[in-house]
Amino acid sequence: MKPLSTRFCAGGGHDFSGSVSILFTAVSLAVFLSGCAGIQGPASEPVVTQPRQPAQSVVVKPAVRPQVIPAPLPVPPARPEPPANDTVLALLSDARTQADSGNLAAAAASLERAIRIEPRNARLWNRLAHVRLKQKRYRQAAGLAAKSSSLAAGNSALLSDNQAIVEKARQGRR
């Protein structure tokens, strides 16, 4: 334990060490702020006000936005049809024969097999769309026609046939 003389100030019996540091901080802050208050900017000239004049009416026209019409997208050049694989040609022929005889499930299977061999052949997707349309599977027919159109860049006959399939599928769903 500290001796009594170091814990208390002489005569009062109180510990003032914390109070002194707070008092010192408060006085320092007051001196600092009073110094800032004494700083003044350059003397300004007196402001002379003039009597108000009546306001003139102003007509504000709304801003006109220029109308931007996008240019049509260029038509991609026609892709040459890839040379057909002999197996794909045989499967396409089988699918035609099967569809003509009314065996639509077998025709669809033949076309799906041909598509696995040549997945970028737009004609195969178109033929499968026709088969699905005959099967009254309208959503699939429209989707297959759209896939065919995405692959048939520049082939206007195939694109218009795909559009016709989509229209027939919409009518069939009603």
Asked whether the beta carbons of 104 and 66 are under 8 A apart, the reply is no
Tokens of 40: 């003044």
| Interior/surface letters 26-36, b for 16+ CB within 10 angstroms, e for the rest | eeeeeeeeeee
CA distance 32 to 38: 10
Q: What is the pLDDT of residue 22?
A: 74
The answer, yes or no, to whether residue 54 has pLDDT greater than 60, is: yes
**Structure confidence at residue 44 (pLDDT):** 59
Query: Residue 28 pLDDT more than 90?
Result: no
Tokens of 61: 């026209």
**Chain segment 129-155, per-residue pLDDT in tens:** 999 999 999 999 999 999 999 999 889
What does pTM read for this prediction? 0.55
SS3 state of residue 144: helix
Task: Report the largest interatomic distance among the alpha carbons of the chain, rounded to a whole angstrom.
Answer: 124
Mean predicted confidence (pLDDT) in 20-33: 68
User: How crowded is residue 162: how many other Cβ atoms within 10 Å of its Cβ?
Assistant: 26
Q: Over the chain, what is the mean pLDDT? A: 79
List pLDDT tens digits, range 77-135.
655 566 678 999 999 999 999 999 999 999 999 999 999 999 999 999 999 999 999 99
Q: Phi/psi at 164 (nearest 5 deg)?
A: -65, -40
Per the CATH hierarchy, to which homologous superfamily does domain 86-173 belong?
A: Tetratricopeptide repeat domain (1.25.40.10)
For position 69, what pLDDT does the model report? 76
